[in-house]
Structure 1
Amino acid sequence: MLRTQLARSLRAATARPLAARAFHTTPATRLQNLFETPENPPLSVHKLTDKGFILSDGLVVPGGAIFAEGKVFLWDVDPPRGDGSQGIDKAWAGWGVERFAVFERLVPRPEILLFGTGARVIPAPPEIRDYISSLGIQLDIMDTRNAASTYNLLFEEGRTVSAALCPLLPVDPRTGGPRSA
């Protein structure tokens, strides 16, 4: 009996022309970033402190930060040591290209990366400059104050720009205090 009813239903469904049949469609599922809402506007640097940054929304970020596409990522780095006069190798001890690996995964990649080296401009070692260049990104090195203000200006203009900003002084991002040796 059940088989007969099923067969009748199937014949009735296929007897109607395709256009007359009602299809149930569901809207395409779209992945949504839960943190990206209209209430969360793009972030910029509002103020620079010795320990980090105060963002445009009032959030205090201790330590370094990477700004990309109006978003901010914590970056656990200290400024390079000294003023660069003792040699690039000493100033950049402990720094390698792995600290910039996030830019390999960034889509779209920025046309310019503003690298704030702390209170002073300290030229980056050739391996860091070459690595950033190999990603197709122009690297501009400046002190953190100028890098932050240049980022704000270029981002406001709609440019595809990122900033990797070291704090002015070594800071422990977990406590917000001076980094212990």
Structure 2
Amino acid sequence: MSMDRAIVVMGVSGCGKSTVGRQLADRLGFVFQDADDFHPAANVQKMRDGIALTDADREPWLMELATLLEAEVAARGGVVLACSALKDSYRRMLSSGRVIPRFVYLEGTKELIADRMARRAGHFMPVGLLDSQFETLEVPSAAICVDIAKPVPAIVAEIEEKLLAPDS
């Protein structure tokens, strides 16, 4: 895993990116960052209002995140970023710097994720935008894919195992 110093835990809203990402970062001894913390206020307000973001809304945010990945690897040696990264073009933007992240896709059914979203508190993303997330999602072909129906510790252990696998 020596080359995997930047890991992006991705998927639709509510799939567990932040929870899994934090635990994965702890396990690997990396810093954790949540892409949601870097959204401009206008993007957050749009989502709170139930309006899906456009590619134009996301582009400056994604470019800032690519810079963040590079800075964190340089400063701290490794980073796990929780970021939706729903489209291939978004993943290419995140990979546009000197640091090419490894993507981990948290995969789950719409029903399971909607149930989780309905039960979480304090997040700006409403359940009503979940359909648009799934419509936007382009399932990555070159990512570690993990089923989110398992408990978080099992998900994190599976990701770590796949990161360490010689053919991954």
Tell me the TM-score normalised to structure 2 length: 0.32
Whose relative contact order is higher, 1 or 2, with alpha carbons under 8 Å and at least 6 apart?
2
- Would you tell me which structure has more strand in proportion to its own residues? 1
Which has a greater percent of helix? 2
What is the TM-score of this pair, normalised by structure 1? 0.30
